[in-house]
Amino acid sequence: MKKILSCWIASFLMAFSCASYADAVTSLGPQAKQFYVWYINKQVNQVFPLLDHEIGRYVDASTVESLRRDYKRDQLPGGADYFMKVQDYDERDWLAHIKPGRRLTFGDAVVVPVSFGSRSEVTVLVFFTKQHDGWKIIKVDDMLPYSSPGN
């Protein structure tokens, strides 16, 4: 009887854990959108988001630390805004048109494509991982073809 009860409790806990994980992963599209609304609004208000302490609500601490270190050395990767992957954009249009796509799960990482704009749409891939205090962005990549540094 104890074995049956133990198996039943273990099964229940595993099912509950999987369901809560799935619910958390489902919320990553809205979380990505919330991050970009915050991020673009900071830039509109002439605040550099990378130096704002609130960025830690959305982005992994080691990622923020690395980006801040590169910023201080004037060596941010890519020659464009790290989180947007562009140099210039229409803030109003992009704020009104932030569209998270279907998420993809790879082990402990979840990738959410996020598209911006209504005229010339740009899409980035936002990588999330589960931290002790929630899901955090660990990386953002563009969807552009490879271009060698000499081009």
Mean pLDDT is lowest, of 56-60, 65-69, 112-116, 146-150, for 146-150
pTM assigned to the model: 0.79
Give the pLDDT band (50/70/90) at residue 3. Answer: low
Q: Quick one: average pLDDT of 106-131?
A: 94
CATH for 28-142, among 3.40.50.620, 3.40.50.10150, 3.10.450.50, 3.30.1600.10?
3.10.450.50
DSSP 8-state class, residue 145: P
Domain boundaries, the chain: 28-142
Give the pLDDT score at 18. Answer: 44
**Helix, strand, or coil here: 132?**
coil
Residues near 26 by beta carbon (within 8 Å), at least 6 away in sequence: 103
Residues near 123 by beta carbon (within 8 Å), at least 6 away in sequence: 101, 113, 114, 115, 116, 142, 143
Strands 122-131 and 134-142, how do they pair? antiparallel
